[in-house]
């Protein structure tokens, strides 16, 4: 395989992955949309390429042909398809196709599972438009992978938290939380652990394989915010019923609270041999926030 690595959508997770790869001597290019996003890459010593995934002309002769690509750019904000992924796939065929691609999807593609344990064998059942766009991207990449002989590996990741990604502002703004008893189970992963999962998936995943990615410690969204409040020394927000929440919470927040799953991460641990640095929220928060 060509030694060059291309990270399409080199934002927070992409930069964490790039740092791990560069530490092991790999040659990495990060693709971003805007010139402003090139500055943090330059600071981290990551070569950048400014290109818009919506513009086929920008995607001629991408680095990564015959090599490894991480595709981390999110789908657009509306609709039920991912045109960016389609444009990327159309531009990377034949000699321009990579050998292997790791895609970040979300656990949202499973839809509401009524709190049940979700394995990679659980059928996808995307219900929100956001989840449908992700599932469309997964399917587009899988079909392209089969047609072009690209080994596509899909990571269905849960909520990502870590330094710079803790929603302290929600607590400072006094947003209410859903009552603890009504708050459904959900899952998380620390951003640095997720980055090492991405690298391990690229090294050990097989063509067509799907991995659930989570720390394996389900908790509720309310528990998550209460733990952050305690850690930073902010007052515990008021708790409200689901009926009240439907009146005051944003549709996005409500969509997180009306789907419930417990992600099974055993395939990730056993097949990829990942040793989590932050297997619990308490350990992960400690590494993400200064104590209040
Ligand atoms: N937050 C969560 O808990 C969660 C859960 C599951 C999955 N995810 C997904 O995980 C992935 C990585 O997350 P992240 O935090 O690293 O995201 P991020 O920091 O927002 O990075 C996304 C990157 O994609 C690039 N991008 C977006 N649209 C583009 C376009 N049209 N053309 C070229 N580049 C484009 C952005 O470039 P610019 O900076 O130049 O715009 C940015 O570098 C995302 O797909 C995210 O949706 C997140």
| Ligand 1 pocket residue status of 40, Cβ below 6 Å | no
226's CB contacts (< 8 A; 6+ apart) are 177, 180, 236
| Ligand 1 pocket residue status of 52, Cβ below 6 Å | yes
| Ligand 1 pocket residue status of 54, Cβ below 6 Å | yes
* Of 66-75, 193-202, 281-290, minimum mean pLDDT range: 281-290
Separation CA 187–CA 194 (nearest Å): 13
Has residue 155 been placed in a domain? yes
pLDDT band at 8 (very low <50, low <70, confident <90, very high): very high
Q: Whose CA is nearest to atom 11 of ligand 1?
A: 72
Has residue 250 been placed in a domain? no
Has residue 292 been placed in a domain? no
Has residue 29 been placed in a domain? yes
| Ligand 1 pocket residue status of 14, Cβ below 6 Å | yes
Res 289: pLDDT: 83
Average pLDDT in the 189-200 region?
Answer: 98
Has residue 225 been placed in a domain? no
Q: What's the pTM?
A: 0.96
Ligand 1: centre distance to CA 244 (Å): 32
Ligand 1: centre distance to CA 72 (Å): 6
What six digits make up the tokens of 168? 């302290």
Domain count, the chain: 1
Has residue 113 been placed in a domain? yes
Ligand 1: centre distance to CA 238 (Å): 32
pLDDT at 108 over 80: yes
Tell me which residue range forms the domain holding 77: 4-166+188-217+262-285
Has residue 252 been placed in a domain? no
pLDDT band at 1 (very low <50, low <70, confident <90, very high): low
pLDDT in tens, 120-144: 999 999 999 999 999 999 999 999 9
pLDDT in tens, 208-218: 999 999 999 99
In CATH, what number is assigned to the domain containing residue 194?
3.40.50.720
């Amino acid at each position: 395989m060509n030694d060059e690595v291309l990270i399409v959508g080199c934002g927070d997770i992409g930069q964490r992955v790039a740092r791990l790869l560069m530490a092991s001597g790999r040659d990495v290019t990060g693709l971003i949309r805007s010139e402003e996003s090139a500055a943090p890459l330059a600071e981290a010593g990551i070569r950048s390429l400014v290109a818009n995934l919506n513009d086929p002309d920008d995607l001629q002769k991408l680095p990564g042909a015959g090599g490894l690509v991480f595709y981390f750019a999110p789908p657009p904000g509306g609709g039920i398809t991912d045109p960016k992924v389609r444009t990327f796939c159309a531009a990377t065929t034949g000699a321009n196709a990579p050998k292997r691609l790791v895609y970040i999807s979300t656990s949202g593609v499973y839809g509401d599972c009524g709190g049940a344990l979700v394995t990679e064998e659980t059928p996808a059942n995307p219900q929100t438009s956001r989840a449908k766009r992700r599932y469309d991207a997964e399917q587009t990449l899988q079909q392209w992978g089969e047609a072009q002989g690209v080994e596509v590996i899909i990571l269905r990741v849960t909520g990502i938290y870590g330094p710079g990604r803790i929603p302290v502002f929600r607590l400072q703004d006094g947003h209410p939380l859903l009552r603890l008893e009504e708050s459904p189970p959900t899952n998380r992963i620390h951003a640095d652990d997720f980055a090492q999962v991405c690298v391990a998936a690229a090294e050990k995943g097989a063509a067509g394989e799907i991995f659930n990615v989570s720390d394996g410690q389900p908790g509720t969204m309310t528990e998550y915010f209460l733990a952050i409040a305690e850690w930073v020394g902010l007052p515990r927000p008021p708790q409200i019923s689901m009926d009240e929440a439907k009146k005051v919470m944003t549709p996005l927040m409500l969509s997180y609270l009306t789907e419930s799953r417990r992600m099974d991460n055993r395939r990730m641990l056993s097949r990829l041999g990942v040793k989590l640095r932050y297997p619990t929220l308490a350990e992960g928060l400690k590494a993400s926030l200064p104590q209040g």
